[in-house]
Amino acid sequence: MEGDWKADRIPLGQARLIDSVHPAVLYSLAKLLNEIGSGFVEDGISWISGIVERTPELDSRELEVNTVYYLENLVRGYLLQNRHKARTTPQIQHQVLAILNFLLEKGSATAYLLREDIL
C-alpha cells in the first residue's frame, strides 16, 4: 500500500540518534520518558546516555528549564525498579552512570546519592 507509514518506520532497536543534539532535544526526550513514553524507559536510558556521551558540550551549555528534574526522576524511577540489574549488568551500569555523571556536572545532589547507591 502506497504511503503506508508502518512500512516506512525504523524498528525501535535500529533507530539512531544524531551525533550532536540541541539541549531542547534532551529536555523533550526526558519529559516524554517521564510521561506518556514511560513504557520506553529501558530504551530511553540507552538513548539519553548516548546523547550525553556523544555530546560533551552539553556539560557547559545551558539546559532547558526542568531538564535536570526530568532526568533525575527518570533515573530514580528506573533504579527503584531495576537496582539489581543496574548493579550487575555492566552495559546498563555504564549507561546509568553516564547520565548520573552528566547530572553531577550540573550540580545534582540526587545524582550523587543515586550514583553512590549503585557503585
Percent share of the chain, pLDDT over 90 = 64
The residue among 96, 111, 104, 25 whose CA lies nearest residue 64 is: 25
Distances (CA, A) of 40 to 15, 37, 100, 108: 13, 6, 19, 24
The per-residue DSSP string of the chain comes to -TT-HHHHPPPGGG----SS--HHHHHHHHHHHHTTTGGGHHHHHHHHHHHHHH-GGGGTSPPPTTHHHHHHHHHHHHHHHHHHHHHH-HHHHHHHHHHHHHHHHTT-HHHHHHHHHH-
Per-residue pLDDT at 15: 52
pTM of the model: 0.81
Indicate the burial class of 48 (C-beta count within 10 angstroms; 0-12, 13-18, 19 or more).
buried
Chain segment 93-102, per-residue pLDDT in tens: 999 999 999 9
Q: What is the pLDDT of residues 20-43, one digit of tens each?
A: 678 899 999 999 999 998 889 999
20 or 118, which is more confident:
118
